Every structure is written in structure tokens, then in C-alpha cells.
Amino acid sequence: MEHSTMPPLQARGISKSFTLHQRRIDAVREANLSLAAGEVTALVGRSGSGKTTLLQVIGLLTPPDAGEVLIAGNDAWSLSGDARADLRARTLGFVFQSFNLLPQHSAVLNVALPFRGPRRVGLQRAGQLLERVGLADRATHHPSQLSAGEQQRVALARALVNDPQALLADEPTGNLDAANEEQLLDLFRELAAEGRAVLLITHSDTVAARADRVFRMVDGAPTPVPSAAAPDADPILPVEQS
């Protein structure tokens, strides 16, 4: 993994709205977020508060209406499509809320496909990552032959195949029981300890409680939650402008 003193990912002034049936939804509003290497950051907030939308913008999948995403100092959304795809593949690992595994391929091939290097090395690395997420004995299963929690772990292994500096995961423990959730949390802590920035979107108090920093989506932007407060405490409201 490449190391640098710059934060691996910084988002500034991100806004993103959708218009559907002549109704405008401001999903993300002037959001700022900086991810630090070595830390697990949790993003919480009610359903529909814009968490996935923000993750897709900082994960370079959905263009913002305004704002910038700096990845290792590069203004990612001002790059050409090819340069951005290359930067994304080199630096970011993304776990989708809905997994997005390819149904026609086995677990190990799903993990190996995005690998940037020789296929043989990719398959070897995919096998090691499946072992790391506790699925060594499911490598030849296809997604339809895996439980939801297992598919989620395959998606995590795939996100790690290029050794990303930042791991962005949308509800990565949403389909897991308490024991598996604990195990995956240990893994996220390990991945951060190796020098990565880890961002987890979560509805789980257990996950948020073990993060280094917690943000709650308020009015379309992440707002720091003081570490002493329970993650399900009342949302922090912005100070009224007088």
C-alpha cells in the first residue's frame, strides 16, 4: 500500500440532488468529510438521509452537482473518465449495499476479476482474502448458492483485492448475526491498523460504538457525533443562525 501524509480521501462542499416527477430531492447538501488513514469512521443516519448518495459521490460512482473529492490530493471529479476510473481502481475499495456480485461467476472469480495484475496472482490473492473473511470453504460457490451474509463478505473480499488506501462500505454488516458482525468488525479494525481509511455506513449501534469517529447525516451533511454520546442519541441539530 502507498503511504502519504495527505488524508487518503477528503470531500468538500458536496451537494447532490435528484429530480423525479418534478419533485426535487436534495439528498446531500454541502457535505464535508475527511477520512484519516488508520481510522474506522462510521456514518449513521435515518433511512433516506443521503448516506448511500454521499458514499457514491466520494466513491467516484456518481458525479456531484457541486463540491470536490480529493483522493491522495487529486481532485478526482475534474479528471477524465479514464483517469478517474484508474485512480478509483488503484485507491478505493467499495462494498455496495446490494453486493453487486456477478451471478455467473464463482466467489473466488468475483473477488479476482477486478485485480490489476496477472490472473494467477489475482486468483491466489482472492483465495487468501476469502480465507480472511471466513469463506475459504465457499470459494467455488456462485452467488445464488451463498447466504446474504456470505455474499456480503465476498463483496468485501473483492473490495480489498487491489489493496486500497480507502475502504468504503455501505451497510457491510446488515445481513450478519451478532457473532459474524463482531468478527467483521475485528477485520475492519485490522484493515485500519494496516494504514487504511475505513468508512462504514451502518444502522448498527455495535458497529458505531467501535468506530474511531462517528458522523450522523443531518440535513444532508455528516455532522460529528461526540464519542461519549450513544449513536442512537438525538441528532445534533445545527446551531440556529440569528
Residues in contact with Mg ion by CB under 5 A are 52
Residue 196: contacted member of ligand ATP, Mg ion, none (CB under 5 to 8 Å, by partner type): none
Residue 47: contacted member of ligand ATP, Mg ion, none (CB under 5 to 8 Å, by partner type): ligand ATP
DSSP-derived secondary structure for the chain: ----SS-SEEEEEEEEEEEETTEEEEEEEEEEEEEPTT-EEEEE--TTSSHHHHHHHHTTSS--SEEEEEETTEEGGGS-HHHHHHHHHHHEEEE-TT----TTS-HHHHHHTT-SS-HHHHHHHHHHHHHHTT-GGGTT--GGGS-HHHHHHHHHHHHTTT--SEEEEESTTTT--HHHHHHHHHHHHHHHHTT-EEEEE-S-HHHHHTSSEEEEEETTEEEEE-TTS-TTSPPPPPPPP-
- State which residue, 52 or 204, has the beta carbon closest to ligand ATP: 52
Position of minimal CB gap to Mg ion = 52
Shortest separation between residue 226's beta carbon and Mg ion, angstroms: 24
Residue 53: contacted member of Mg ion, ligand ATP, none (CB under 5 to 8 Å, by partner type): ligand ATP
- State which residue, 48 or 73, has the beta carbon closest to ligand ATP: 48
Q: Which residues of this protein are in contact with ligand ATP, per CB under 6 A?
A: 18, 20, 25, 27, 45, 47-53, 97
- State which residue, 99 or 115, has the beta carbon closest to ligand ATP: 99
- State which residue, 150 or 171, has the beta carbon closest to Mg ion: 171
Shortest separation between residue 51's beta carbon and Mg ion, angstroms: 5
- State which residue, 20 or 239, has the beta carbon closest to ligand ATP: 20
